[in-house]
Amino acid sequence: MARTLITAPSSARRGEAITLRVLLQHPMESGFRVGADGRLLARDIVRRFSCSYNGERVVAVELFPAVAANPYLEFSALALDSGTLDFVWEGDHGFQHREQRTISVT
Amino acid sequence: MKRRPVLLTAAGVALLPPARATPEAMASAIRSFTGGAPLREGKVQLDVAPLVDNGNTVPVTLSVPGAPPAEVAALALFNERNPLSDVLRVDFGPRAAARSVSTRIRLATSQQLVAVARLADGSCWSQRVEVVVTLAACIE
């Protein structure tokens, strides 16, 4: 179970742009580094991240090994109605992690 | 064993390309993102420190200031000298507000970064930034 740090407001005004910051604890092993035994360390990265707001997409991100360990992303969403924000990470070796946050829009 | 072939082999090994991307690899990665559309300078903005102390985690921000949000379909970031040219590709959905994304990346050495924005009308815009890296990201 990966640890995440998500900064999302719990309430917003209708039509407001809300800033979302997400951080996932993950080594993002690039597959280009050599380990202590002299052999290449197997690649283990998060390949995709997506955020949706009541089922509608906010962003879909494709990540490559050049993204630093513990991938951090900051983006913004349009608050139009109350509901849930879904955050999904997918990566190598079947890695998948999902988080949810609720937001009330007045 | 003759000396000349040995020396030539040694020279050949020294001339082998290192395990990193090249400007040509970056150009082909950019083409795969733009779909062959011509790349023009402007519109997209790449914010990154020109002098990077630690290549392991370099904060970058990609944005398209000025353009109406609905006009920007996707943003991407490419590099010249990491092992792979791709860094990040972002598709914006109907719920995205400002066309801006921040993240932290790795840089193997001093090099050029290219931010590319693909607009809804299919045109592609870029900005190139040279960065100097004092401590490289460990790729070995």
Which residue from A57, A66, A78 is facing B105, i.e. has the nearest CB? A66
Q: Give the closest-approach CA distance of A97 to chain B in angstroms.
A: 19
Amino acid occupying residue B69: P
Query: What integer pLDDT is reported at residue A63 of this predicted model?
Result: 94
Given a cut of 70, the residues of chain B with pLDDT beneath it are 1-19, 138-140
In angstroms, the CA A46 to CA A67 distance is 9
CB contact under 8 A, B101 and A75: yes
The CATH number given to A4-105 is 2.60.40.10
What the block records as the tokens of A47 is: 């390949």
pLDDT for the residue B59 = 94
Q: What is the pLDDT of residue B4?
A: 62
How far is it, in rounded angstroms, from Cα B106 to Cα B79? 10
- Give the domain ranges of chain A: 4-105
Calpha distance A63→B93 (Å, rounded): 17
Residue B8 has a pLDDT of 54
**B106 φ/ψ angles, rounded to the nearest 5 degrees:** -110, 140
Nearest to B90 among A32, A61, A68 (CB): A61
DSSP B69: G
Count the Cβ atoms, other than its own, within 10 Å of residue B105: 25
CA angle centred on B68, ends B99 and B44, rounded to 5°: 50
Q: Which pLDDT score is estimated for B1?
A: 55
Coil, helix or strand at residue A80: coil
A46, closest residue in chain B (CA to CA): B88
- Count Cβ–Cβ pairs < 8 Å, chain A vs chain B: 109
Span A25-41, pLDDT tens digits: 999 998 888 888 888 89
Which domains occur in chain B, in start order? 19-133 (2.60.40.2470)
Three-state SS for B122? coil
pLDDT digits (tens, 9 = 90+) for A40-99: 899 999 999 999 999 999 999 999 999 999 999 999 999 999 999 999 999 999 999 999
Within 8 A of B102 by CB-CB distance, chain A residues are 72-75
Work out the minimum CA distance from B59 to partner chain A, whole angstroms: 9
Average pLDDT, chain B: 84
Q: What ipTM was predicted for this assembly?
A: 0.89
Q: For the segment B61-83, what is each residue's pLDDT rounded down to a tens digit?
A: 999 987 777 788 999 999 998 88
Please give the pLDDT value at position B11. Answer: 53
> Could you give the CA distance from residue A56 to residue A53 in angstroms, rounded to a whole number?
5
**Minimum Cα–Cα distance from B58: chain A residue:** A68
Q: What is the pLDDT of residue B140?
A: 47
Q: Any alpha helices (H) in chain B, and if so which ranges?
A: 3-15, 23-34
pLDDT confidence of residue A81? 92
| Residue B26 backbone phi and psi in degrees, to 5 | -65, -40
Tell me the C-alpha distance between B131 and B82, whole Å: 13
pTM across the whole model: 0.84
Report whether pLDDT(A101) > 90: yes
> Are B71 and A40 within 8 A, CB to CB?
no
With CB atoms and an 8 Å threshold, state whether A68 touches B79.
no
Q: Which of B65, B67, B88 lies closest to B77 in space, CA to CA?
A: B88
